[in-house]
Amino acid sequence: MMVVTSGAVAFGKQRLRHELLLSRSMRQSLRPNEHPQGNLMPQLEPRACAAVGQGGLLSLYEAMFSQYGLTCAQVLVTTPDFKDPELRNNLRSTMDALIKMNCIPIINTNDAVAPPPGEDHDLKGLRRKPNSVISLKDNDSLAALLAVEMRTDVLVLLSDVDGIYTSPPGRSDSQLISKFHPSDLENIAFGGKSRVGMGGMESKVKSSIWALERGTSVVVANGVGSEYHALSKIMSGCKIGTFFSLAEKSGPSVEEQAMDARKAGRDLQALGPQERAEILYRLADLLEERTTEILDANALDLETATSSQNLTPPMLSRLSLTPNKINSLAAGIRQIAESSHENIGRILRRTKIAEDLELVQETVPIGVLMVIFESRPDALPQVAALGLSTGNGLLLKGGKEAYHSNRCLLKIVQESVARYAPRTAVQLVSTREAVSDLLKLEGIIDLVIPRGSNELVQQIQEKSKGIPVLGHAEGICHVFIDKGADPAMANRVVIDSKCDYPAACNAMETLLIHKDLVGTQAFQDILNNLRDHKVVVHPGSRLAKALPFGPMPATSLRKEYSALECTMEVVDDVDDAINHINKYGSSHTDTIVTEDDEAAQTFLKTVDSACVFHNCSTRFADGYRFGLGAEVGISTGRIHARGPVGVEGLLTTKWVLKGHGQTVADFAEGGNLHYLHESLPLTVEEVEDVIRDTQGEIRTDEDIEDSSYEKDKIGKDG
């Protein structure tokens, strides 16, 4: 470990300013305005500053390292130390000796006696002669020289930016380069100098390449950023800053994957609806044809899972594929294909702005989606089918337990895509780290959909930097039994809501009871029934007082048990129940059981949740049960999509305006045109137009099928 440090000049300046202040006359201090600024604060000579600061800088390092029982050594060098063979030898043996004794050399240029910096010979040649000499002129080149001289394993250059960017950071199109090959030099544009220290980024890159080509790995990272412990993270192999390597890239970077997915998504979008459907039909066929191959891959995963004994039986059963599962998967994908024709280009609004100026709002894909799902391999083709049917590029991350199954299924998906669009329309993201990297790519990835445990969703939401996340963080669902409830119905709804699948996000977590019911037979029946189903009831503070026995009270009224447990509390009436739910709930799904229509109406209208139910189980909150076809997920967010989300959640809209040369000035005061803003019906002709437009010349043998489909579609819209 060697430290090349700057700071001596800056520290020295601080001190000399203080000295200057002490040495000026009383008159100067009392009447500063009579004296020009120059007199008060003469230009500080940098070399003098360096001389003054050097001592303080070293004592600071000493004080800090001594806390860890480490000894420092000061080494000041000048250019000849690297040029003259004898001096070079001296330097090397000194350093060797220090390092052997576990001392940490603190190295700086001997600025107090160093010559003024010469002309910048080598910098200009940066792009042309990477093998040229490097001269000692800042700490970057000093560090590079030392690293090569001492054959260090890694050279870390700390800066105040996160690493090397494609163009000066802060520009809207600049991107952090996480792995830098010397050939990348052509793709970057340098800005000015760094705010801190002498060397700008250009000097860092030059020094890095110079050292790299002489056998030292280099990392340029942020030493003052929000990621603490940059050094220890780099040493433990974390992906921080820019890593310089001579190795050619082994595959596309996550950024490139995302860009490829966007490009491929555009190609998908440009296809006709029949072509997109074809891809899905092909996928369904391939899944059935290659069942053996899929099951073989799945067997490998099952073997690993069984031998490592990491998975619970339900997890194993989710991981396992069967011929039956694959058949119903194929059937499901054919259904998605059938209903996919209207996904893109569906017209939502049509307005005649003025004569010959018509506006249409139509559905388009969102762009690039990243979907993260846990170890159910059948999710991969399902999600792929949803993404393909809506023309979106897809980055998928499956559980590592399903590694072989997912790779096999991806190959099949890509094969079916390849007929009409680039395979890169659907890609796998291999590591968790890659997911974290992708979550930073705002503007490249448009929407993230985590499907799995609440922890997963929450983690993704926290990590995402500006990319919207569609999901539900918590599912604290309530059932409220009103005093007017039918007792048998209340019992059925409560048991189904809690026990049908206790770990689901739409399972009941809190049971609210009208105060008039406490102590009645109906109340007792519910308690008994819950006990018979092995549900542990945690009473709220109000109920606890009313209960004859003393179970563990609830620690919080806002708790998701995800198990056979629930909170139970008493409320005064429907308004009290609503307040409770709006205060402690998570706006997921809440239900009222009552025969009193007025109370039900109030509840349905005032409870502020994505799903509000009357006289039925909370478990109905689900895309399939809602009849949305394939489910993308459940969202508790308030914008874009809310509650169970179908393919609509994967679409956005676009405004298309067709004119004949109109300008806004034509409509200004005194202009010759006026806004009509006539709402036009979505006529049969219009729909036919769209179908013709979007299918263009690609009609093939399937024409007969097509037209029957079109008739269906027109029937629906008209």
Q: Taking Cα atoms as reference points, which of 581, 650, 648, 637 lies closest to residue 610?
A: 637
Torsion of CA 171, 172, 177, 180, to 10 degrees: -60
Could you tell me which residues come within 8 angstroms of residue 84 by beta carbon, excluding any fewer than 6 positions away? none
Q: Is 58 helix (H, G, I), strand (E, B) or coil?
A: helix
Give the type of residue at 366.
I
Beta strands in 248-392 (DSSP E): 347-354, 357-365, 368-373
Nearer to a copy of itself, 241 or 646 (CB): 646
Strand-pairing partners, residue 679, are 351
CA distance 688 to 713: 9
Q: Which contiguous run of DSSP H or E holds residue 19?
A: helix 8-23
Are 325 and 377 contacting, i.e. CB atoms less than 8 angstroms apart?
Answer: no
CB of 520 to a copy of itself, least distance (A): 19
CB of 365 to a copy of itself, least distance (A): 9
Are 261 and 386 contacting, i.e. CB atoms less than 8 angstroms apart?
Answer: no
Q: Which two tokens stand for residue 419?
A: 């007929």
Residue with tokens 């036919």: 688
CB of 190 to a copy of itself, least distance (A): 15
CB of 595 to a copy of itself, least distance (A): 10
Neighbours of 669 (CB within 10 A): 4
CB of 499 to a copy of itself, least distance (A): 9
CA distance 326 to 282: 14
CB of 394 to a copy of itself, least distance (A): 15
Nearer to a copy of itself, 66 or 310 (CB): 66
Nearer to a copy of itself, 78 or 615 (CB): 615
Nearer to a copy of itself, 157 or 607 (CB): 607
Nearer to a copy of itself, 288 or 358 (CB): 358
Residue with tokens 């291999």: 430
Nearer to a copy of itself, 419 or 658 (CB): 658
CB of 183 to a copy of itself, least distance (A): 22
Nearer to a copy of itself, 137 or 472 (CB): 472
Give the type of residue at 450.
P
Are 260 and 395 contacting, i.e. CB atoms less than 8 angstroms apart?
Answer: no
Nearer to a copy of itself, 35 or 614 (CB): 614
CB of 407 to a copy of itself, least distance (A): 30
- Counting Cα atoms < 13 Å in the Cβ hemisphere of 193 gives 7
Q: Which contiguous run of DSSP H or E holds residue 499?
A: helix 487-499
CB of 358 to a copy of itself, least distance (A): 10
State the DSSP string of 252-265: --HHHHHHHHHHHH
Are 470 and 447 contacting, i.e. CB atoms less than 8 angstroms apart?
Answer: yes
DSSP state of 165: B
CB of 287 to a copy of itself, least distance (A): 23
CA distance 370 to 396: 6
Nearer to a copy of itself, 219 or 493 (CB): 493
CB of 63 to a copy of itself, least distance (A): 4
- Counting Cα atoms < 13 Å in the Cβ hemisphere of 226 gives 0
Nearer to a copy of itself, 12 or 241 (CB): 12
Give the type of residue at 678.
E
Nearer to a copy of itself, 121 or 171 (CB): 171
CB of 312 to a copy of itself, least distance (A): 22
Nearer to a copy of itself, 68 or 549 (CB): 68
Could you tell me which residues come within 8 angstroms of residue 667 by beta carbon, excluding any fewer than 6 positions away? 354, 673, 674, 675
Buried b (16+ CB within 10 A) or exposed e, 57-71: bbeebbeebeeeeee
CB of 460 to a copy of itself, least distance (A): 12
Beta strands in 242-301 (DSSP E): 242-244
